[in-house]
Amino acid sequence: MRVPHLFSVIAVSLGIALLAWLVDNDYYLRILFMMGVYYLCAAGMNVLVGYAGQKSLGQAGLFAAGAYAAALLTTSFDLDPWTALAAAAVVAGLCGVLIAWPSLRVRGPYLAMVTLAFGIVVEKLVSEWTEVFGGAEGIFGIKPLAIAGTPFSNLHWVWFAIALGAVTHLLLRNLLCGRFGRAFLSLQADEIAAESVGVSVYRYKILAFGIAAVTCGIAGAMVAQQNQYVNSDFITFHLSIFILLLVLFGGSGNLYGPLIGAVLLTLIDALLAQWPSVQHFAYGALLLFALYLMPNGVAGLLKQLFGTVARKPETLPEPKALKPAAAAASIGASQPLLDVDHVSKHFGGVRPAQDVSFRLTPGHVHALIGPNGAGKSTMINMITGVLTPTSGRIAFVGQDIGGTESHVICRMGIGRTFQNLRLFANLSVLENVLLGQHCRMKNGFWASLLALPSSRREEAEAHRRASAILGTVDLADLAHSPAGSLPYGLQRRVELARALATEPKLLLLDEPAAGLNPQETAELGQLIVKISRLGITILMVEHHMDLVMSISDHIVVLDYGIKIAEGSPAAIQSDKRVIEAYLGAEAA
């Protein structure tokens, strides 16, 4: 973390703590405490909704998990309240993982319904199972936090909430301003593209749910311990909506959005508490306002008004990762880098690949061509794990990869671009390329969360490599521009740069010249040749025959899912079956 930011957070926290000390009113202290509680809920929810893009309406259930865990552990098991608070975070985190599993199969409104069902089940459980949870009567005598045997006063609770909020902000900032934050944002943008650069979509979804659950569980435990009482009235669907509103109104996807939302909405909640019907109407109106009229929230509005101009990245030398002929060095030029052996793919009666076999030689430029509907993109998708072959074997460096997940295949050394652009359009050009570096970075969760020196070194090295790659593809001056704002031809280059950042042994290009004008196509051909000279093997699916014939060393031709020819460009140009496939038998 940057030292100036750390000092700023400490200074602001001390200022708020001093203000609380000067306040001689328990009601105002309660409002300050609830701001801290709601900030914890919103900070974790921001990771889940604002960064990972997973819609959740089950936060009340996670809040309840923390609250009742702390209540039961201190009353029924006589556990120390500090230990109970830590245990409540663990219990809530496990519940978060539990409701995350359905997210592996559903998304969007269906995921929201699953999480809503979880919240309703928890609400019914704590209200109906009176023997354990006390129902409407609740659980009394919950042990509060204490120091040297002296329970926290209201002022102490405010100070504790401020300290915990500051630590949460610093930790999440460490996590989200680096490798993990980019990975979460890639889930929201395009899960298939995220997998293609080595992001494990399922793992990061579960992690986002876990983070949101832990912070919400801690908040619930704090409320239960501060009140020394909890009942089913604490856990309602209204709470889930309120926590979601904290994020959306404050500004989802912004580190300061949860804080802004917590401060403003807690004040509004206090002002409207004596008019419950007006209170609910106000929340609905604010939710609609945040969704339709201010989609980036208050934080987004402030950033738009007072945002600063981003600093351009430093242009650095070409990284070593682009230079060595990794594939040729590891297996020898005489052995195939990729071996496709009698591979077929069936979708019911449709057969886009039928008993296809070919081999790719390390260090060469290969082309996979054929008329529309020949099965070329299907073959690329099977090689990269998007599709699983019905039969046959695909071996990369001698290892069978058929049916392997895309992010694993990327880590093995296969990078790709897509027929239809799959950029992370709202991220900058540099962030897109840094996502390509994701699978090559070694800083794990705890190192990133705590901003350990090893994590900072990995980030610095990733930026150095990304900047050098951008220089290689002539995009260094556009590093901080949103990728989706660039002309189509430059977006194609960004996607190619992102694929290069995965440090592939084999680079698959699915119609890289689609939509390019003749000049851009010629420049692309020169760039592909330049990349191949770095020792990277290339397999290109392309319809521009001039480009294919001018830069390819070896060509494979498909027609209706069947391989009809294979050989050098000269041999393919004179092959009667190829001419017939493209021009028809009569023309041939």
* pLDDT exceeds cutoff 80 at 105: no
Of 398 and 316, more confident? 398
Quick one: average pLDDT of 300-317?
A: 60
Instruction: Write down the pTM of the prediction.
Output: 0.92
pLDDT tens for each residue of 119-133: 999 999 999 999 999
How many whole angstroms separate alpha carbon 243 and alpha carbon 250?
Answer: 11
Q: How high is the pLDDT of residue 1? A: 53
Q: How high is the pLDDT of residue 587? A: 43
Q: How high is the pLDDT of residue 585? A: 55
pLDDT tens for each residue of 476-534: 999 999 999 999 999 999 999 999 999 999 999 999 998 899 999 999 999 999 999 98
Query: Residues near 478 by Cβ (< 8 Å), separated by ≥ 6?
Result: 429, 470, 486, 490
How many whole angstroms separate alpha carbon 179 and alpha carbon 304?
Answer: 25
Q: How high is the pLDDT of residue 325? A: 42
How many whole angstroms separate alpha carbon 120 and alpha carbon 88?
Answer: 20
pLDDT tens for each residue of 408-417: 999 999 999 9
- Contact call for residues 502 and 436 (beta carbons, < 8 A): yes
- Contact call for residues 481 and 429 (beta carbons, < 8 A): yes
pLDDT band at 333 (very low <50, low <70, confident <90, very high): low
* Helices then strands, each counted (H, E), the chain: 25, 14
pLDDT tens for each residue of 110-121: 888 889 889 999
pLDDT tens for each residue of 353-380: 999 999 999 989 999 999 988 999 999 9
Between strands 365-369 and 554-559, the pairing is parallel
Instruction: Fill in the DSSP letter of residue 362.
Output: T
Phi, psi torsion values for 300, nearest 5 degrees: -65, -40
How many whole angstroms separate alpha carbon 477 and alpha carbon 195?
Answer: 28
Domain borders along the chain are 3-237, 320-583
pLDDT band at 316 (very low <50, low <70, confident <90, very high): very low
Q: How high is the pLDDT of residue 99? A: 87
- Contact call for residues 68 and 126 (beta carbons, < 8 A): yes
Residue 334, exposed/middle/buried by CB under 10 A (0-12, 13-18, 19+)? Answer: exposed
pLDDT tens for each residue of 543-574: 899 999 999 999 999 999 999 999 999 999 98
pLDDT band at 584 (very low <50, low <70, confident <90, very high): low
pLDDT tens for each residue of 406-459: 999 999 999 999 989 999 999 999 999 999 999 999 999 999 999 999 999 999
Of the options 3.30.70.1060, 3.40.50.300, 3.40.50.1000, 3.90.76.10, the CATH number for the domain spanning 320-583: 3.40.50.300
* pLDDT exceeds cutoff 50 at 538: yes
pLDDT band at 331 (very low <50, low <70, confident <90, very high): low
Mean pLDDT score of the chain, rounded to an integer? 90
Q: What is the CA radius of gyration of the chain?
A: 28
Q: How high is the pLDDT of residue 307? A: 64
* pLDDT exceeds cutoff 80 at 241: yes
Of 227-236, 258-267, 321-330, minimum mean pLDDT range: 321-330
pLDDT band at 310 (very low <50, low <70, confident <90, very high): very low
pLDDT tens for each residue of 165-209: 999 999 999 999 999 999 999 999 999 999 999 999 999 999 999
